[in-house]
Amino acid sequence: MAPTPPVTDDVLDPSTALKFLEQYESRDGLSVVDLMTSKIHGGLTYNDFLMLPGRIDFTASEVQTETRISRRVTLKTPFMSSPMDTVTETSMAIHMALLGGIGVIHHNQSAAAQADMVRAVKRHENGFINDPVVLSPDNTVADVLDIKERLGFCGIPITDSGKLGGQLIGIVTSRDIQFQTRDTNLSKIMTKELVTAKQGINLKEANEILRVSKKGKLPIVDANGALISLLALSDLLKAHNYPLASKRPDTKQLYCAASVGTRPADRERLTLLVEAGLDIVVVDSSQGNSFFQTDMLKWIKQTFPKIDVIAGNVVTREQTAQLIAAGADGIRVGMGSGSICITQEVMAVGRPQASAVYAVAEFAQRFGVPVIADGGIGNVGHVVKALAMGASAVMMGGLLAGTTEAPGEYFYQQGKRVKTYRGMGSIDAMEQSKPGINGSLGGRSKGKALENAATSRYFSESSSVKVAQGVSGDVDDRGSVTAFLPYLHVGVQHSLQDLGLRSIADLQSGVRAGTVRFEVRTASAQVEGGVHGLNSYTKRLFA
């Protein structure tokens, strides 16, 4: 309520403005509690409200975006890619991690193929590589080419036994195999003059040897010359080029997440993923409050206690309580809010995303469980609003599906360069019988009830009629994620600067304390807040 207006027309002394401001009973705008009163405003999406600006006394580059996405995993940016077969495979997972986020590799493929993707991510950047690929002198160039195709590298140490712990006798690099036939034995072409380091050397000293020697690989050997581990120059360069990279503190390997379902076969799948080095498992279901998921959660926590488990999807406190009680380390929020999802329309079940994130996060934070906002993210503003509602991170599908690193090939539709993007609840996804690898969407088999990621996610394996909860379409080319994700990151920093807040933690504590204020947007306000009144315009988001 405003102070009583003066009875005269006298103008107040400008120097008393701050003091006079204290006479107002409340701050301008609404608190989050007032905003999220569903009896008054109903369910809200990100477009239904704005945050009011604060005071700027720092630069945008000072804003810290570090956030915890599960009980034990902290990232430097709040970005995750969705476990969809048109969004996250090896390339997306690697680049998300290098740029400070994390990719969740989809499971609409064989368990072995998914495990290979996890393994490729974990090998992409390491400190000391404690389980390097090793070959023997009897292996051939064909074996090296196979490793390069599957894992993306070909600098391989050679030991007498072909195993880690054998006597180091050489190394094979890409230059060694150039112009060689596939059946050439490695003993004939391997490099034998090696620069090595002794067991016990620290990472800083080893990196210095690499820098000075200008070698691509540094084998670490024990006193008897047996291979113990390996260090790569490419990893040293990546550490310099990607300062925000999401890496395990102990091994310096990139973080990797992957999804599994809730069926018995998924237990065998997860075992393979853990053996490949998985850090986080996302239990993937359209409706997470089921005995299938709670049983799976309990089994995972008992069988693999060192793996963090993100459970979901949920939109209510009641759903969330079941998953937290079963041992969830993180909660995934969203039901029907994705751009390709039609669950709310077809099933009449779900919740507007801003209201869902707020309700779940308010409950989960009391138990120290982070929340991930999955779906409904269309721009930087949506990211910040999700964080304000209590999310620790946002999971993106359509926003990343058009990037170079997403699976699939570009094609032209009505003169625009686009990529295929489909919901995991779409008929296309449910009918897929042979999931592709590295971006290839395989063949489809109609008329057969197949147990794939799409059918199990929507509890449709046994249904003779498949009821779609998603659609198939295409999205515009967004270029490389190496340019797009930094744009999102800097955009979040500038948004928090406008709010007068130096970190995501400050944003969320300010929301809880009532110092961060909100305003509901009418339909007219939403029109006013967008581009309007122009005959034509060009919208470039970043440069």
Catalytically active residues are 341, 457
Instruction: Name which of 127, 125, 121 is nearest 207 in CA terms.
Output: 127
Q: At what angle do helices 264-275 and 111-124 cross, to 10 degrees?
A: 30
Strands 393-396 and 411-413: unpaired
Task: Find, among 155, 234, 140, 254, the residue nearest to 189 by Cα.
Answer: 140
Tokens of 398: 């359509």
Compute the distance between CA of residue 437 and CA of residue 439 in angstroms, rounded to an integer.
6
End-to-end CA distance of the chain: 44
Instruction: Give me the torsion for CA of 247, 248, 254, 260, rounded to 10°.
Output: -130
- Tell how strand 257-260 and strand 411-413 pair up: unpaired
DSSP string over 121-158: HHHHS-SSBSS---B-TT-BHHHHHHHHHHHS---EEE
Q: Cβ(390)–Cβ(508) under 8 Å?
A: yes
Question: Which candidate, 301, 291, 303, places its Cα nearest to that of 328?
Answer: 301
Q: CA-based angle 321:325:327, to the nearest 5?
A: 120
Place of tokens 């210095």: 208
Instruction: For residue 55, give Cα distances in angstroms to 66, 233, 369.
Output: 22, 45, 31
Q: Which residue has the tokens 């790569």?
A: 232
The dihedrals phi and psi of 319, each to the nearest 5 degrees, come to -60, -45
